[in-house]
């Protein structure tokens, strides 16, 4: 009986690990090939740092990401147990909830996740927490897409618990949840790609509220500031966006191979 239970738990844990591994490998590979092969000429003119990541950096990022996937699988297993107990509100039939909720639920989850990420991320930069939670991720001073899940166990756990919390809070269709996970990992790998994907006028137009690769790359270079994930709102409301972010973006898309770490700037506010 006990052995059968443990075997069942191991099976579910392995399922979660394989699923997260597939999404991580897919997103990181697509972004890496986009930068180094598919759009190599275009991307090479849009690099954000003069320094290049080494193979040792990529191996470290991949190794820590495997550790993080183990943490994710464990939390995924806990989430499955919570689902069996009726505490997780995933549903399979679109008709279970109104059409407006099926349409609004994905944006709602992204908005909530953005707020969760900003405040957790900013908290992890507190001197008492940084070395225990976030130092591993910042070993990637020149990040690559493989750094998307390069976390310590503590940070991996903090990122992972969002899943059971939001699934207990909101009813979500299974396909909406999968769509959110894919948006999250592809967005994550793009922010760590080291080259600016967004078009020239992005930060001067109506979509300026969305973050860019430049926005997050500056965070890796300077540490204190630009904490947002999907959107720039929280950084601007809290005064933690780097004051010359748009200038660095313009320099990147103009092909100046900007390494903003050589010209440190202060944020509009500290903390």
Quick one: 224 exposed, middle or buried, by C-beta within 10 A (0-12, 13-18, 19+)?
middle
CA distance 181 to 149: 13
Residues 6+ apart with CB under 8 A from 184: 113
pLDDT of residue 6: 79
Asked whether 234 and 228 are in contact (CB, 8 A), the reply is yes
Please tell me the distance from the alpha carbon of residue 175 to that of residue 69, in angstroms, as a whole number: 21
Cα distances (angstroms) measured from residue 197 to each of 26, 34, 200, 268: 18, 10, 9, 25
Distance CA 117, CA 234 (A): 10
Residue 266's pLDDT is: 52
State the virtual CA torsion across 3, 5, 8, 13 in degrees, nearest 10.
Answer: -100
* pLDDT recorded at residue 39: 78
User: pTM of the entire structure?
Assistant: 0.90
Backbone φ and ψ for 211, nearest 5 degrees, come out as -70, 165
Of the candidates 182, 233, 226, the one whose C-alpha atom is nearest the C-alpha of residue 207 is: 233
DSSP string, 33-57: HIIIIITHHHHHTTBS-SS---HHH
The whole-number pLDDT of residue 107 equals 98
Closest Cα partner for 163 from 175, 181, 190? Answer: 181
pLDDT of residue 210: 97
Q: Quick one: CA dihedral 186, 187, 189, 190, positive or negative?
A: positive
Say what the pLDDT of residue 259 is. Answer: 42
Tell me if 151 sits within 8 A of 159, measured CB to CB: yes
The residue count of the chain comes to: 271
Separation between Cα atoms, residue 51 and residue 130, nearest integer Å:
24
- At 219 the pLDDT is 96
Tokens 């591993």, residue? 136
Query: What pLDDT tens digit does each residue of the chain (271 aa) get?
Result: 778 777 888 888 999 999 999 999 999 999 999 998 877 777 888 899 888 899 999 999 999 999 999 999 999 999 999 999 999 999 999 999 999 999 999 999 999 999 999 999 999 999 999 999 999 999 999 999 999 999 999 999 999 999 999 999 999 999 999 999 999 999 999 999 999 999 988 999 999 999 999 999 999 999 899 999 999 999 999 999 999 999 999 988 887 754 443 444 455 544 4
């Amino acid at each position: 009986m006990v052995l059968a239970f443990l075997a069942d738990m191991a099976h579910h844990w392995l399922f979660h690990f394989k699923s997260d591994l597939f999404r991580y490998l897919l997103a990181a590979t697509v972004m890496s090939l986009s930068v180094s092969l598919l759009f190599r000429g275009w991307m090479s003119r849009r690099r954000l740092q003069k320094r290049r990541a080494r193979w040792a950096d990529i191996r470290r990022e991949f190794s820590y990401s495997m550790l993080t996937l183990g943490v994710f699988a464990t939390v995924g297993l806990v989430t499955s147990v919570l689902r069996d107990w009726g505490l997780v509100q995933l549903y399979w039939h679109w008709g279970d909830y109104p059409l407006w909720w099926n349409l609004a639920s994905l944006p709602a989850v992204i908005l909530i996740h953005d707020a969760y990420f900003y405040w957790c991320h900013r908290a992890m930069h507190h001197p008492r927490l940084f070395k225990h939670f976030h130092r591993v991720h910042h070993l990637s001073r020149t990040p690559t897409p493989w750094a998307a899940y390069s976390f310590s166990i503590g940070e991996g756990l903090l990122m992972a618990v969002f899943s059971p919390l939001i699934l207990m809070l909101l009813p979500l269709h299974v396909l909406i949840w999968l769509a959110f996970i894919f948006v999250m990992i592809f967005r994550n790998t793009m922010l760590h790609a080291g080259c600016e994907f967004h078009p020239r006028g992005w930060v001067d137009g109506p979509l300026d509220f969305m973050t860019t690769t430049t926005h997050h790359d500056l965070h890796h270079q300077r540490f204190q500031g630009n904490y947002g994930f999907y959107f720039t709102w929280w950084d601007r409301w809290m005064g933690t966006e780097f004051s010359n972010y748009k200038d660095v973006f313009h320099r990147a898309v103009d092909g100046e191979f900007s390494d903003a770490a050589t010209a440190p700037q202060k944020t509009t506010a500290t903390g």
